[in-house]
Structure 1
Amino acid sequence: MSGLAHEPRPALLADTVQLAGRHLRLMSRRPASIMGAIIFPLVFAFLFFTVLGRVMERAGIDYAQYLLPAIVIQAMFFSAMSASVWAAEDACGGMVDRLRSMPISRTAPVLSLLGGELVRSLLSIVVLIAAGHVFGFRFERGWGYAAVFVLIALGMAVAACAGYLVLGFAIARVETVEVTGGLVYYPLLLVSDLFVPAGSFPGWLRPIVENQPISRVADALRATSATGGGPWPDVLVAVAWIVVATLGFALLAPRAFAGRR
């Protein structure tokens, strides 16, 4: 027993890298999970642009500039919901129990899933930006702001994935997680300015639409990609939402993982 007391603590970085490699290998064996993060957002982009593009142009809105940030956010949520399914599969399949019995950091499994989903999120962002150019989307402020755009989008992915990992580890049932994830996502999606301006909503609903976190992140992405007023007020508000959400879920996710029995 005294020997065990003096064993070095497991290295968080080494544990995370090893488990992230496992997650990426499993992801590579399910090409549909990678394609889903790319194809679904592209389909939504095509449908919304086809249906609403001309209507928005008549209203004086460059819909390519308006829509692409919304589709990027949607793709980040698709990755987050996928993360919750991976977590639930590990929990109900016994992998979590195996990891809990091993001398590894309780944070490493969370960070490894998060890292794997960030790789997929980055791939989605690159593909969507390339596709957006076909529709007419441009980084009108230059490549420096384009980098800020990507960082905000990845920050959104981190916050969303962390929240959905809490769901996945806590619920530990794939079907239930999928349903619950949709119940969280769709109200946020519909009561936002992702696809139509906040002015299109009833007056009593506009303060909620304008100030909820998804809308503020979308506003920041639009501000960094299109010319207009100074983008930094929108960016700072979005970053504040992302940081608060990430810190909150970062505290809960390892507890949800460690609490499985």
Structure 2
Amino acid sequence: MNSTQVNAAADRKLKNHTSFGQAVRNSLTMAYRGVLKIRRTPEQLFDVTLQPIIFTLMFTYIFGGAISGDVLSYLPVIIPGILVQTVITTSIVTGVQLREDMDKGVFDRFKSLPIARIAPLAGALLADTIRYTIATVLTFGMGYIMGYRPEGGLGYVALAALLVILCSWSISWIFAFFGVIARTASSVQGISMIVLFPLTFLSNAFVPVDTMPNWLQWFVNINPISHLVSAVRELTNNGTAGWDLGISLIGAAVIVAVFAPITVRAYMRRT
């Protein structure tokens, strides 16, 4: 074994034995890198800035009169639905950008640095919470401009926002796994949309469940997106925390418990 191979082996051994504190610091540094990427290429935020505005206006004025009789009556129904749909959809970007960075060799360069191997993956997931926050604030802001006044109060609105951000972060682990194992960024986006599209639209986000065919209602009622939307509605509109909140938190925990280990394992094999 030559000196180059010995040094490379030593570097890998050092990275595999980094302390937890160093891994956290390295991950925060990588998260800051993600923030800088957003600042330097603001077009990355088009989906979280334009989509909440366009979807809120479009769905409210198209369905408001037909479902609730008027726009103001429909806002307490649609704003939580648009919020969940927008932020959850935004989590797809995590896997797409991860695959793009791996294809460009960015992660290969990270391997030559004295940092924890998990840091680039963890940093990317942390940085994307900023995207979720922007989408959440814009959705609530657009709803307020249109006349939405949550009866639950500001505290419960903030709690609902944290719930959606937390659940979106947990779901991003699924798309991060797709990003690690897929061959191209376009395939990551395609697979993710196939998974997410029916979940978001076959839910109670836009229309009442009882208006749907009986054979479809059973799926909508067990759909985790429906539970998250119901939890957000209860918090913002009523100021209450029901069993849907508990189901959403348990679901988020289960997703992280299942997908975080397999994503990290697949990531370690690839890097």
> Shared fold (TM-score greater than 0.5)?
yes
Task: Tell me the TM-score normalized by structure 1.
Answer: 0.90
Residue 207 (structure 1) aligns with: 218
Instruction: Report the Cα offset of residue 95 of structure 1.
Output: 1.8
Could you tell me which of 121, 124, 136 is aligned with 2:147? 136
Q: Are the equivalent residues in 2 in contact too, given 1:73–1:156 (CA < 8 A)?
A: no
- The aligned length equals 258
Indicate the SS of the match to 2:221. helix
Give distance in 2, aligned partners of 1:61 and 1:206.
26
The one of 226, 237, 247 aligned to 1:226: 237
Q: What does residue range 165-176 of structure 1 map to in structure 2 within 5 Å?
A: 165-176=176-187
The structure in which a higher percent of residues are helix is 2
| SS of the residue 2:18 aligns to | coil
What SS does the corresponding residue of 2:66 show, helix, strand or coil? Answer: helix
Q: Secondary structure at the match of 2:238?
A: coil
Say if 2:116 is the partner of 1:105. Answer: yes
**Corresponding position of 2:56:** 45
Q: Distance in 1 between matches of 2:72 and 2:259?
A: 36
> Which residue of structure 2 aligns with residue 185 of structure 1?
196
- Structure 2 distance, partners of 1:18, 1:60, is 45
Whether contact under 8 Å (1:198, 1:206) holds in the other structure is yes
Q: Which residue of 2 aligns with 1:9?
A: 18
User: 2:258 is matched with which residue?
Assistant: 248
Shift of the 39–181 alpha-carbon distance from structure 1 to 2, 3 Å rule, reads same
Q: Which secondary structure state, in structure 1, belongs to the residue aligned with residue 149 of structure 2?
A: coil
**What residue number does 1:235 align with?**
245
**Change in CA separation of 1:199 and 1:118 when aligned onto 2, cut-off 3 Å:** same
Note the alpha carbon deviations across 1:36-73, whole angstroms, 9 max, x for none.
Answer: 21101211111100100111223999310111111111
Q: Which consecutive unaligned segments of at least 5 residues does structure 2 have?
A: 1-5
Range 212-221 or range 102-111, more displaced: 102-111
Q: Does 1:58 align with 2:42?
A: no
Deviation of residue 89 (structure 1)?
0.6
CA RMSD of aligned residues (A): 2.3
Supply the distance in 1 between the matched residues of 2:98 and 2:245 (Cα, whole angstroms).
Answer: 31
Q: Once the two structures are superposed, what CA deviation does each residue of 1:70-111 show, in whole Å capped at 9, x if it has no partner? A: 111122223211111110111111122333454433332222
Shift of 1:21: 1.5
Residues 80 and 117, structure 1, Cα contact 8 Å, conserved in 2 = yes
Secondary structure at the counterpart of residue 139 of structure 1: coil
SS at match of 1:33: helix
Look up the match of 2:35: 24
- Match of 1:204, SS state, is helix
| Identity in percent | 24
Q: Which deviations, in whole Å up to 9, do the C-alpha atoms of 1:11-57 show, x marking residues without a partner?
A: 11111011112111112222111122110121111110010011122
Letter in 2 for 1:170: I
1:183 Cα deviation after fit: 0.8
Cα distance change on mapping 1:59 and 1:45 into 2, 3 Å: closer
Confirm whether residue 150 of structure 1 aligns to residue 150 of structure 2: no
Q: Which moved more, 1:11-20 or 1:76-85?
A: 76-85
How far apart are the structure 1 equivalents of 2:81 and 2:235?
Answer: 13
Q: 1:142 deviation in Å?
A: 1.7
**Distance in 2, Cα, partners of 1:6 & 1:28:** 33
CA contact 2:231–2:245 (8 Å) conserved in 1? yes
CA–CA distance in structure 1, aligned partners of residues 68 and 252 of structure 2: 31
Contact 1:146–1:225 at 8 Å: present in 2 too?
yes
Distance across 1 between alignment mates of 2:41 and 2:226: 32
Q: Which residue type is aligned with residue 249 of structure 1?
A: F
Q: Deviations over 1:133-160 (max 9, x none)?
A: 1222222112221221011111121112
Change in Cα spacing, 1:253 to 1:144, as seen in structure 2 (3 Å) is same
1: CA distance, partners of 2:242 / 2:134: 26
- Is 1:194 the counterpart of 2:205 in the alignment? yes
Residues 72 and 147, structure 2, Cα contact 8 Å, conserved in 1: no
Equivalent position amino acid for 1:237 in 2: I
